[in-house]
Structure 1
Amino acid sequence: MKKTAHIISHSHWDREWYLPFEKHRYYFIKLMNNLIDQFKKEGNNFKSFHLDGQTVLLEDYFAVHPENREVVKQLIEEKKLYIGPWYVLQDAFLTSSEANIRNLQIGLNDTKAYGHAAKIGYFPDTFGIYGQAPQILKQAGIDTAAFGRGVKPTGFNNTVSDTPNFESPYSEMVWQSPDGSSVLGILFANWYSNGNEIPANEEEARAFWDKKLQDAEKYASTNQLLFMNGCDHQPLQKTIPEAIETATKLYPDYTFKHSSFDEYTEALKSSLPEKLQVIDGELRNQRTDGWSTLVNTASSRIYLKQWNNLCQTLLEKTAEPLAAMDLLAGGTYPREYIRFMWKSLMKNHPHDSICGCSVDEVHREMVTRFETVAQMGEVFVKEKALELAEKIDTSQTPEGGIPLVVINTTGWEKNDVITEVVDIDKVYFSQMHFEKIPGYLKDKETPSYKLIDDQGMTIDYQLDEPVIEFGYDLPDDKFRQPFFAKRVKLSFFAEGIPSFGYKTFYLVPEKAPAQLIEPKELEMETSGIEMENEYVHVQFHEDGSFDLMHKETGESFHRLGIYEDTGDIGNEYMYKEAKGHAPITTKGVKAEFTFLERTSLRTVLEFTQTISIPVSADECLAIERNQLIWHKEREAGRSSEMTAITLRTVVTLTKGMKGPAFKLTIDNQAKDHRLRVLFPTGLKADTHKADSIFEIVTRPNTPEKEWENPSFCHHQQRFSSLADDQMGLTVATDGLQEYEILPEDGTIAVTVLRATAELGDWGYFPTPEAQCLGLQTAEWQVLPHEKDVVQSQAFVDAYQFKVPLVVVQPNIHEGVWPKTHQFVKTEANGLAWSSMKAAEDRDDVMIRWFNPAEEKVSLQASNQDYQSYKSTVLEEKTNQTEENYEAGKYEIITLGFYKK
């Protein structure tokens, strides 16, 4: 049968990478202008162009050429220019579950303005793909995915490396999620440049096609051959019509077609063999030698991952749910502003951006973007919380009392120690001359207080000394209102804050004489350095390592928390340990301990250690970098010159915490090294679990037989966990997204700092700021539990790490909502909550969970004024409207709620 060569013109456009954004945009504008001219000049002879699967490129172009919007729109409507379905070509593992959904939602929403979307899950250069992608794509009505990595091994410059027993013998396969959803997977077996710069000259064309046709046929399961006419930042090939004419003349047994993914996939599906290889779950290039997985981008420039986690958490776990709750309370949902915040954040999500594998200028600009998103999110949360609080009836506040509304924006009930600054007195400049106010407030007697909950029950609390501080209000109906306030820092244990709800507390003056309640120091009966609450006991050793006892079972983990430093002669993409140097650890290095706080609510311990490490790699590394020696082949060691590094660790254990939380601060003055924190669990297991995209994935502790790299690191979202049949240990993190399991003693090793100095791809691009010199921080929490992280539901506590309650101090006023309320009542025991927001195109409230287990889980969710229904990830209504739903094995389940 005659074979068809589908030639798809495209240019894979990294918005920023080896050049900063604006320099890349300059060349992209040239590409777009040339493309528009080409369509005008060639008419139907130049069939189509694939715009790299991301709609953000249109925003980049129209910012400079808004006059061409209608021309571009017409090209899209005529299916000459193909856009979407994504907003950006994100890194799949380093962006959150909801960020991956927003990327698809916003990308497809953008395409509506232009009339047509390329309905293909496009992952051309993604550094591995999460296992739930087929389920997400199928729910979005997309049945085909195209990708360049994860299945067939690829090496330096993306050359194909054939090894026996790789996962699929063809470039076409069935890709299946854990829930059983599947899509047709298309691997760019010869990369997405296998049809780049096709010659129009006959002699050159014959040499080109003799090789290229053979390469494509080697992996194709059908007579439909795919040739991607483009590469990274590839200029437009204007001679494609002539090149196709030449190929048609030279190879009469083939049909050469200037094609699109729509046309190619339609032809491909009609000719597929009856049975294709099924590829399950994650695509992570595990059956390779391990030197080109790019997994260590998870630890490049960790500060970017920390910023991203802060911003993602702010938007998806606080801002969106808060706005949705206010919508249920009768408010309005600022959809466009929320979308704007997400778009601003997602401009940091492309794979060469969030992965930290670009030049320094790129990542400097990213920090500014992150700061901007944080500013938007913080003011949004503050204002939305106040809007919600204004609808709550606080008129019954006891005389002279101060109401405090504690809002839980998550899908789980929360019990947490809150520390909040409260204004106990306030005088506006309009009431008194500003110079007199501080003295007036200072001399005014401060009453004693009691703290009560919504039932009038007295709650223990702590109150710091008051301070006088300047502040201001920004009313909706008048000029700014400056004031001085007498402020106190209030701490208390907020118990039973309902999911998707709030609870009101009151700070009430007492008639007793003025008395501030100061923190209660706990007396330590032992001479050891220890801390404990109702769940765990922590005993520290002289070197800062600790034993952690799970009180319910009495089981303990020993000598956790040692720091390990090794040399790194790799690059932003890959870690390579320096040759001939043993790891330097804090084992046996005496720590200096200081208790910063020991009260009934909170124990805070600080300890510091100083270690001596090499200042950098040796001089050999500079030579190897300049000679473009691939990291696998490098021989550099570590410098003989040493420098002292001080590690400052602050440990916090509050009432209600299931395990201690840690914050490391390091003034990094060394280069070319990696620092990890080690948790030797002593547990015997062949596999472990880690948080991924809508999945708590099970991964092997040891690699496949093809693996040669001594390092076997993995991506994680919020935690990694190891367990045997009895006990488990989970390490939850804040933006620390690289870990490794050391199977000999069941150690979970979490990377907290990695310092390198080159990009590390097709040339030598120095990146000195990737050394991360200066103050760096890292935060994590250690959670012991019975059985594994899913069976014990310890994942709830891991997901709650660094997701705060929102506290508002409203005025005293009448309102329509009671002092305690839950907007959506849910029973979802065993499910992992993911998001709460309004739909993209209407005021239905959408709530999403996923099932982390193989067993089905029942789900109940209700609001007396709203009707629920089951939805897709694109928020499309289905006919299933019930009170009780069922989440199948590993299912991502979304419920919508519309007003009855």
Structure 2
Amino acid sequence: MQRKVHVIHHTHWDFEWYFTTNESFVQLAYHLDEVMQALEEEQIDYYLLDGQMSILEDYLTSFPEQEERLAQLVKSGKLAIGPWYTQTDELIVRGESIIRNLNLGMKLAESLGGYMNIGYLPDSFGQSKDMPKIYNGFGIQQAVFWRGVPNEVTTKREFHWNAEDGSRVLTSNIKNGYFVGVGLIYSEDADSLVETISEGATGEDLVLPVGGDQRYIDFNLRERIEVYNQKLKNVELIESSYDRFFDAISENELSVVEGEFISSSVSKIHRSIYSSRYDHKYLNDKVERRMIYQAEPLMVMAEKCGIPYKKGLLDRIWKLLNKNHAHDSAGGCNSDKTNQIITDRFVEADQLSYSLVDYLTRKISESRMNLSENELIVFNTLPWKNKKVMKCEVSTPFAAISMEKDGSMVPFELIRTRKEFSGSIRREETDQDPANYYFIHELLVEVEIPALSFVTYQVVENTVQNNKESSKKSSRHSIENADYQIIFEAGELSLIDRKEGTTYKNFLAFEDSGDEGDTYDYSPPYTDHSYRLDLAEASCEATQNTLRSKLVFNGEWNIAKDIQEREWKKRTQVIPYQLTIELMKNSHQIQFHLEIENQASDHRMRVLIDTPNKNDFSYTDTPFGTIKRAVVDRHIDDWRELGWREEPTAIFPMLTYVNSHTPTSSWTVFSKGIKEYQFVGEDFQTIALTLFRSVGYLGRPDLLRRPGIASGNEFKYIPTPDSQLKKKLTFKFALQLDKNYQPAKLSKDYLNYAMSTPYYQIQELNRFTTTLKYFVSNPLKNKVAVQEGIVFDSDKLVFSSLVKTMDEAGFDIRVYNPDFCQEVNGEIIKGSHEMSYTFVDLKGNAVSSTEKNDIIPLGTFKPGEIKTIHIVD
């Protein structure tokens, strides 16, 4: 039988890497001329523009006159574009970010004539187990990728990839890379190339992607196809597309596989890239949280008050984030000049998103009925009642204050008060009018706010001494709340679970080790010296109060300043640090805030949290679910003999938490921006979170964990001194102890811990509470009253997002079952009045009939299933 080789001409256009997107744009401007010329003059039949729209958007911004020309090629089926905005990382960005990426890419592609309806990610560093259900939610039934499939799962190039909810995509795995087909252009050994791409094929149809990084058009493609066709027997090469290839293999007998693909058995996977450029990971996590759980729900709330929904503003921010989610960009494996541009985009997205929250909270607050000076309006952007201790600042003309709600006193604690001047500033402070001074009070306030609503508190003058936080100093420093007690005594830190009456000694420490790796991978030096760092030499101050208790440690750690010192076992570099441990009233988390001043090179620092559990597996969250992973890889000792591309160390990605549990004990560590963990110790009882890695090269060859050629550019050392992260670094994480592991409840607990509470104060003394406060703002003509939002309060399902719908006729709330083996049913969404609702897919297309009720029964959720509910009220 004759075999058919589907030659797919393409380019892989890295958005940025060792070059900046600005530098590659110059090539793109001319490259697209060649693409259009080759297609219009029928020198080639088909061209795949890497499945992403961001590069086309940039191109059309500069060359809008080319839009119709491009659209004609797309509509004719000659030029394949989309469905992505950028080729996303799948493991360390949130699921909603992946959805926004596809939404943006599909919308742009549709404006040009349509998108390639294939999940095309040829170079992402690992594949999330949730991708089949994301793809199916968008009507995508096929996928193409390269990295991560272990040989022991399947050696086949084509298979069905299933998610736990039953979603399935027909998958083509490019095991030799998206660049394998350039052999067609340069090699005369036709038989060898066909033999290479035949290995693992499931039928007589083979795929040959001809392209590479920022590769030009091969104008001689047809000539080379003809050369091969003359040389080969029983093999025919044809110009083709992935659509045609999938049609050809659709009837093949294919295996079914499930799960994530992060194995290095057939390709590099960079299993420690999750800690490269921690500063970027921290900023990304902060802006993602704000966008998904504050800005978007707040826009829905604001529209009900009469404030227009600005989707274009949200899209602008999401485009900035999604550009930073391209696989190299998210990984941090870039040149310093590229990473600086990535930082700038994060800063821009940060400024836009917090300004959006500031504007909306102010507009709503100042548009309420019966305004009073010094009112504090506190918002809840989550769909369940929020009761917590929040931190805020209020500006008043009086030196001492109290907090009230509807005439009743509200518990609060004063952290500090500072005196500020509101008049016209002068060179000499003595020339400033004393009447223009006011007071800024930094407070902790216990608030309770209904779902998707706001509450008003009154700040009033108090002639009695303010309720201040107090410090107590002794050789035995201790803090406590209803759940925990933490004791620092004789240089040792102990945790007491008060409800269980159990004490855990020395449960927290830090570790510093060498890192002779690069921006792709951690790798220990050939001669390493690693050590635990504790708090024994630190000064400690305890503050015990009703709403918050804290321990503050100030100290210095001595570590090796570079690889050479580590080899000599010297430790001359001083690392100043401050660690704050907080217990909040009614909070189930122990909160940690670490600040260090890093001045050392080529090292990795981790926080070590000792659990009482002997662990065989770890548990963590994924874009739309949870996953169970073995704490040690079965091939950790024979990977070299098997020819694997890098050591399969059990270093893993995480989104928001990592968990260790037994049937009677659950320990969860939450993080804000820390994306990497490993279980270590004799019984793997210790959770090691990688705080950061400090490395000086984009790629290095011959690493202990990754032998052979350098990743990235194998022909040149590219220094990245900025990736040493020699600067002040901030780390925020929390520990929670439970009896049982409940993944949906943990997601809810995480949001209660990680999300700040937006607020606004009615006052004109201080015009610099936010940047936008200085600007004037008209209140709405129709005054705003407190409105009740929908309520979704579940410990079985996870709240994912609340956004205005694509058709702008209502809003969508998305929830999912995070459990990978258990069904969930009986959950509901409550409304204050009758609502029309329809279940829709991730693209907004109806998958049910429309019903009306004030309660929305969500039905049965399969393991891992996502549901989106379109509501019009």
- Structure 2 length normalisation: TM-score? 0.89
Q: 1:237 aligns with which of 194, 201, 218?
A: 218
1:851, 1:857 within 8 Å by CA — same for their partners in 2? no
Distance in 2 separating the partners of 1:827 and 1:531: 31
* 1:546-695 to 2 correspondences below 5 Å: 546-587=493-534, 589-595=536-542, 597-618=543-564, 637=567, 640=570, 642-695=572-625
Deviations, residues 685-727 of structure 1 (Å, cap 9, x unaligned): 3212112211122111221236643832100011111011111
Bigger drift between 566-575 and 738-747 goes to 738-747
Q: Give, in angstroms, the shift of residue 174 of structure 1.
A: 1.4
3-state SS of paired residue (2:219): coil
Equivalent in the alignment of 1:375: 351
Q: 1:127 to 1:506 in 2, by over 3 A?
A: same
Alignment of 1:417-566 (within 5 A): 417-425=389-397, 446=398, 449-454=401-406, 456=408, 458-462=410-414, 464-465=416-417, 467-470=419-422, 486-509=438-461, 514-515=463-464, 517-521=466-470, 527-543=475-491, 546-566=493-513
Correspondence for 1:279 = 257
Query: Take 2:415 and 2:471, find their aligned partners in 1: how far apart are those partners?
Result: 16
Matched residue, 1:407: 379
Q: Which moved more, 1:363-372 or 1:607-616?
A: 607-616
Residue identity opposite 1:826 in structure 2: F
What is the one-letter code of the residue matched to 2:235?
Answer: Y
- The structural deviation recorded for 1:857 is 3.3
The percent identity for this pair of structures is 25
Cα deviation code 1:387-409 (max 9, x no counterpart) = 333454345x6xxx632221111
Whole-Å separation in 2 of the counterparts to 1:533 and 1:652: 10
- Give the match for residue 239 of structure 2: 258
Instruction: Note the alpha carbon deviations across 1:221-245, whole angstroms, 9 max, x for none.
Output: 0111000000112121111121122
1:799 shift after superposition = 3.4
SS at match of 2:272: helix
Match of 1:216 among 170, 193, 197: 197
User: In terms of mean alpha carbon deviation, does 253-262 or 750-759 score higher?
Assistant: 253-262
Mapped pair 1:892 → 2:866: yes
CA contact (8 A) 2:511 2:606 kept: yes
Task: Provide closer, same or farther for how the CA distance between residues 20 and 448 of structure 1 changes in structure 2, counting only shifts above 3 A.
Answer: closer
The match for 1:768 among 713, 716, 721 is: 721
SS in 2 for 1:220: coil
Summarize the Cα distance change of 1:888–1:858 in structure 2 as closer, same or farther, 3 Å threshold. Answer: farther
Letter in 1 for 2:531: I
Contact 2:477–2:541 at 8 Å: present in 1 too? no
Q: Give the C-alpha shift of residue 382 in structure 1.
A: 0.8
- Which residue is equivalent to 1:785? 738
Question: 1: distance between equivalents of 2:676 and 2:563?
Answer: 22
What is the aligned residue count? 818
Q: Quick check: 1:194 aligned with 2:172?
A: no
CA distance in 2, matches of 1:814, 1:369: 33
> Residues 553, 147 of structure 1: CA spacing in aligned structure 2 closer, same or farther, 3 A cutoff?
same
Which secondary structure does the structure 2 equivalent of 1:221 belong to?
A: coil
Whether the 8 Å contact between 2:636 and 2:648 is mirrored in structure 1 is: no
1:871 to 833, 840, 845: 840
The residue that corresponds to 2:702 in the other structure is: none
1:95 Cα deviation after fit:
1.3
Secondary structure (helix, strand or coil) at the match of 1:122 reads strand
SS at structure 2 position matched to 1:696: strand
1:434 paired residue number:
none
> Which of 282, 285, 294 is equivalent to 1:309?
285
Give 1:73 deviation, angstroms.
1.3
List per-residue Cα deviations over 1:653-675 (Å, max 9, x = no partner): 22222122112121111111101
1:114 & 1:852 partners in 2: Cα distance?
A: 37
Question: Is residue 738 of structure 2 the alignment partner of residue 808 of structure 1?
Answer: no
Give the alignment partner of residue 318 of structure 2, picking from 323, 332, 342.
342
The answer to whether the 8 Å contact 1:394/1:819 transfers is no
User: Cα–Cα, structure 1 residues 410 and 485, in superposed 2: closer, same or farther, change >3 Å?
Assistant: farther
The CA deviation string for residues 273-294 of structure 1, in whole angstroms up to 9 with x for no partner, is 1xx22221211116x39x9330
**Letter of the aligned partner of 2:749 in structure 1?**
D
Q: Contact (CA 8 Å) 1:333, 1:843: kept in 2 or not?
A: no
- CA contact 1:308–1:735 (8 Å) conserved in 2: yes
**CA–CA distance in structure 2, aligned partners of residues 814 and 38 of structure 1:** 56
Identify the residue that residue 441 of structure 1 maps to in structure 2. Answer: none
CA distance in 1, matches of 2:423, 2:110: 45
Preserved contact between residue 542 and residue 588 of structure 1 (Cα < 8 Å): no
Measure, in 2, the Cα distance between the counterparts of 1:185 and 1:55.
22
- CA distance, structure 1, for counterparts of residue 598 and residue 738 of structure 2: 34
Alignment-mate amino acid for residue 787 of structure 1: N
Question: Does the CA contact (< 8 Å) of 2:284 and 2:346 recur in 1?
Answer: yes
Q: Deviations over 1:84-118 (max 9, x none)?
A: 11100111112111111100111111111011100
Secondary structure in 2 aligned to 1:358?
Answer: coil
Give yes or no for contact 2:410–2:446 (8 Å, CA) kept in 1: no
Please say which of residues 63-72 and 307-316 is displaced more in the overlay: 63-72
CA deviation after TM superposition for structure 1 residue 415, in Å = 2.2
Q: Distance in 2 between matches of 1:120 and 1:195?
A: 20
- Name which of 819, 828, 832 aligns with 2:794: 828
- Looking at structure 2, the residues matched to 720 and 817 of structure 1 have their Cα atoms a distance apart, in angstroms, of 45
Please say if 1:755 is aligned against 2:735: no
Aligned partner of 1:717 in structure 2 is: 655
1:133-191 deviation line (CA, Å, top 9, x unaligned): 10111111001111101104xxxxxxxxxxxx621131011111122211112100221
CA offsets 1:732-781 (integer angstroms, 9 cap, x no match) = 11111011011524100001121111111232222111111122221111
Instruction: In structure 1, give the amino acid aligned to 2:271.
Output: V
SS at match of 1:196: helix
Code of the aligned partner of 1:896: H
User: For residue 252 of structure 2, what is the amino acid of its counterpart?
Assistant: L
CA RMSD of aligned residues (A): 2.6
Match of 2:157 among 163, 171, 176: 171
Report the 3-state secondary structure (helix = DSSP H, G, I; strand = E; otherwise coil) of the residue aligned with 1:417.
strand
- Output one character per residue of 1:356-403: Cα deviation in whole Å (capped at 9) or x when no partner: 1011101011111111111111111111112333454345x6xxx632
Matched, 1:354 2:284: no
In the alignment, which residue of structure 2 is the partner of 1:332?
A: 308
1:572 and 1:25 mapped to 2: Cα distance?
Answer: 24
> What's 1:703 paired with?
633
Q: CA deviation at 1:309?
A: 0.8
Cα 1:211/1:814, change in 2 over 3 Å? closer
Question: Corresponding residue for 1:108?
Answer: 106
User: Is the CA contact (8 Å cut-off) linking 1:296 and 1:572 kept in structure 2?
Assistant: no
TM-score (norm 1): 0.86
The 1:195–1:638 alpha-carbon spacing in structure 2 relative to 1, beyond 3 Å, is farther
Residues 682, 579 of structure 1: CA spacing in aligned structure 2 closer, same or farther, 3 A cutoff?
A: farther
1:744 is matched with 682
Where do 5+ consecutive residues of structure 1 fail to align?
A: 153-164, 426-445, 473-482, 620-635
Unaligned runs of 5+ in 2: 425-434, 640-646, 700-710, 765-778
The equivalent residue for 1:320 is 296
Task: State the SS of the aligned residue for 2:688.
Answer: strand
Give the residue type in structure 1 aligned to 2:392.
Answer: E
Task: Check conservation: 2:160, 2:256, Cα contact below 8 A.
Answer: yes
1:480 is aligned to none
CA shift at 1:641, angstroms? 6.6
How much has 1:796 moved relative to structure 2?
Answer: 2.0
Contact 1:758 1:765 in 2 (8 A): yes
The answer to whether the 8 Å contact 1:390/1:815 transfers is no
